[in-house]
Structure formats: structure tokens, C-alpha cells
A = this chain, B = another copy of it.
Amino acid sequence: MKVGLAQLNIHVGNFRANTDKIIAAIQAAEAQGADLVVFSELSVCGYPSRDFLEFDDYISKCIEAVNEIAQHTMNVAAVVGAPARNPRPEGKDLFNAAYFLYQGKVQKVIHKTLLPTYDIFDEYRYFEPNTVFELVEFKDRKLAITICEDIWNVGNENPLYVACPMDELIKLQPDLMINLSASPFSYRQYHERMSVVRANCDRYQLPMVYVNQVGAQTELIFDGGSVVVGAGGTLAAQLPFFSEELRVVDLDDIREPAPFDLPAPVSLIYDALVLGIRDYFAKLGFKKAILGLSGGIDSALVLCLAAAALGRDNVLSVLLPSAYSSGHSVDDSLALVRNLGSPHEIIPIEEPFQSYLKTLHPFFKDLPANVAEENLQARVRGTLLMAMSNKFGYILLNTTNKSEAAVGYGTLYGDMCGGLAVLGDVYKTQVYELAHYVNRNGEVIPENIITKAPSAELRPGQKDSDSLPEYDLLDKVLYQYIELRQGPKELIVQGFEKTLVDRILRMVNMNEWKRYQAPPILRVSPKAFGMGRRMPIEGRYLG
């Protein structure tokens, strides 16, 4: 049997585009002799559709699309993902479903059993879990069709669920496992995903066709990397990361491909961020980005990523020097845009800044300058960038990194402005790694930008290290607290100093109000700020 793996970039809610793309893939697979084409989870409407799923009109459009796609399955079968209505009065109104289409109609609808409801996942918000298990018979084979999380409860020491759908399906003696997924990228997700697919192939001694969504939906970046794995755990086909592909695999003639080299995490994160930027613009219908280039490493890296995503001509860098900007900030920025060949403008902030100080003088009088004046400069920059954005149709890219976002080192409505936070899930220490990666074939980011001490340049001689622990140490504590949810006791046992731990955890928890209003963040780690981390603002825990 020849099976097509259709790893497509789906656009949430864009039924016309998604349906056309799915039909084109079916036709292409048929032309290559496929018997069956498999698409990703909820491929008809896109994942995550979030609360669009609460609109009956949206569900109707999903089902209309499924019926239209079915018209194109006269000679080749297809499995597409879409919600299905729950006919029972009790329970949630929908199932997360796989539609098996053949001979022009819906032959079978399979429901998802395990509904991830953690981190960025909210599936129990919408869907009723499946409780009935059946196979799909097709051309003398019996197919065990599951959806994403359904295969993730195998061989786990601390299983999230009481049920295991494949344990039920295996009793019906299937010949092949098919899984429709929407498994978002993080830098360690590939390893977990492959170990899960292999654990299933090993436990049930069956091959698996695993098709993942590709493309970014604002915060979430789906990396594709669909696979066919043989009953013995052999990797029989591997689709690319971060790009669309249709691959037809003859399951009766599996040849082991050349060994697969997984790219290094830094390269995966780089590619993920580029795709995240590209899809955000494409799906919102924008072409051009603007950003403030400070002379620091964060904005330098964002510029390089944006130029890679949108084309160097489509990213306008704006230098916004103040009286506190060092001479090298402007020189280094100019060297960078020269290296990239991308456009720039210089807009000094001194006049609006002074005009604010004058306007506020009747109130501020001779009080010493403090965070109010520092924030003012950041807000003048944000306002100038937004004015350019509004006038000429740019989207402003935010350059805050995860270390800064964590401890609230940034000005709300100032340098926290932007439509998309490119580095909001990238710690400062990872920013350096990415900068070196950008320079792997020669200097793009000037060496001086990489080696200088980080500074917000909001007062004379300011350094980040005046108000923050050194980033090496800070990032280690943040990783333990944010990614691994280690509390103060565990951190102290690990050898971190109590005063340091208390200070950092307090900064993280006290700045929830600031992060609440931050732009959406491209997620590249297993625990990013945004939809996957939901914290009380008024809570007083470690704060």
C-alpha cells in the first residue's frame, strides 16, 4: 500500500485556502499512485482554532469543507482532521476527529481519546473524549487511526491519563497505525516525539504513519518532521522540518533511508524563529517589518532573523539615539545594516524627550531623575516606531528576550511595544548562541555587538549588571524555575544562594502584570511566556 504524507502549512479559519491546498495534495498523491493520503490534526480548520470552535457557524464550515474534500476521493482515500459534533446530549458538544474519506464520501469518523489540557493545550475546553474504539478497513488492511496525544500515553513512568487508546485498538488486530498530529516545536520536542512514535511501534509491533502540521500560528510554531516508522522502530521516511512536503511511501517496500542527522538545537531554533516571523506576516497579510536597532545584541539578532524571513529590503531598522547612547551604538548598528544590505533611518529622540520633561516640569519639579525618566526615553522610542508603523504599514518587531521578560527588565509601552516578540522565549545566553550561529559563515553581526556589556543606555554608563545578576547565573535560575517548576527549596539544594534565588523568583512573580500586556511570543522552549504559562497577577506567591 502506498501512503501519502501531506505535511501542510494550514491557516486557522481560512477554509478556502486550506480546502484548496488539501484537494491539491490529494490530486498530487493520486498522480503518484498513492492509495491513501494522510493529513495533520484538524487540518481542515487549522490547529489551534481556539474559541472559534465555540461558534456553530465555524463547525458548519469545517463540515462543509470535509464534504467538499470528499468529492476528490473517488480513487484515492484521504484522512483529514476536523471537529465532529457529539450526537449525545451529555458531555461537550464536539469531538476532535479524523474523517476517513473514500469513494466520494465520509466512510468513518474516528474520535480523539486523550485531550491534552496543559501548557499551551486546551482541548478539554472544547472536546469530549472518545470511549468507543474501532478500526478502519481499507483494501484488505485494518487501520488503527489515532490523533496526536492518543499515542503519547505509552511507556511513560508518570502517565497523564488513565486510558491508553492503542491498548484498546490493538485488541482488534490492526495492520497499520496512522496518527494525525499537531505537535508544536520546542527545541527538545523532536526527541520526545520520536521516542514516543518508536515506543508505540515497539510495543504494538506495527508500523506507524505519523503526519504533523507545519507552519506557525502566531505563538505556536509547528515544525513538521512527519515520519514513517517500521514495526521494529526503523525510521523509514522523514519529512523536512519547517517546510511543506507531500511524500508518497510504499509501505510494502520500505527501505531504510540514509541515517538522519538532527540539526543542532541552535539551528532548529533559528529556523523556527524565521518561520514564526514569516508566517505571522503572511497570515496577517503584511510584508514589511520595522524595528528599533539599539546597537545591542537582541535587536541585531531580530534584524537578521527578520531579514531571513521577509527579505532584507522588507525590514526597516530605525536607530533612535539619545544623549546617553554611546558612539559605538550607532556605529555598530550602521555596520550591521551595511553587512546585511538592509535599509535604515536615524531618528534622534532628544527633542520629544526634552519636550516631555518640559511639559512635566511643573509636576516633577526638581525631584531626582529615576525610572520615570528612563521609561520616558523608552516610550519616546516606542511611540516613534509606532508612528512610522502606522504611517507606512509596517509591523513593529519586539526585541525583548526571555531573561528580560522574566524579570520585568523593560518598559511597558516602550521597548515592550510590538506586534510579535521574536526573542521572548530565548534566554539572553541563547541570544549569544544564535548570534554566533548567524555569523557561522562570516561576520554579519559585528563582533563588537556580541562582545560589549549589555546596557539599556537610559542613563550615563548604565549596565544591565547594575540591576540584574549576571546573565549566566540568572538564566540558570530562570530555567529551573520556569521550565522545570523548581521552587526555592529545590533551588537552594542545587547550590544557588538563597538571597539570589529569593530575589530572582520575586522579580519573576512581581512582573506578571507587565508580561500580561506583552506582545505574543514565538514559542521555542517547552515552557514559554504566553498561552502556555497562566499566572495570577494579584497572587502573592514568592512575591
Contact = CB atoms under 8 A, between A and B. Distances in A.
Copies of this protein in the complex: 2
A191 interface: no
A260 interface: no
A203 B538 CA distance: 39
Given A124-B124, A370-B391, A538-B279, A533 B383 contact: no
A363 B388 contact: yes
Contacts of A349: 359
A413 B383 contact: yes
Contact of A520 (B52, B284, B488, B537): B537
A129 B214 CA distance: 34
A343 interface: no
Contact of A540 (B124, B283, B541): B283
Contacts of A280: 538
A125 B390 CA distance: 39
Given A58-B487, A363-B345, A488-B57, A13 B352 contact: no
Interface in A115-158: 117-118, 122, 124-125, 157-158
Contacts of A536: 12-13, 46, 48-50, 52, 217-218
Contact of A58 (B367, B390, B541): B541
Interface string A174-213: 0000000000000000000000000000000000000000
A371 B383 contact: no
A28 interface: no
15 contacts: A11-B539, A12-B536, A13-B539, A50-B534, A50-B536, A52-B535, A57-B487, A90-B161, A122-B534, A279-B538, A284-B538, A383-B383, A412-B417, A413-B417, A516-B520
A172 to B, nearest CB: 23
A487 B518 CA distance: 30
A92 B52 contact: no
A465 to B, nearest CB: 23
Interface in A8-57: 11-14, 46, 48-52, 54-57
Nearest to A531: B534
Contacts of A56: 485, 487
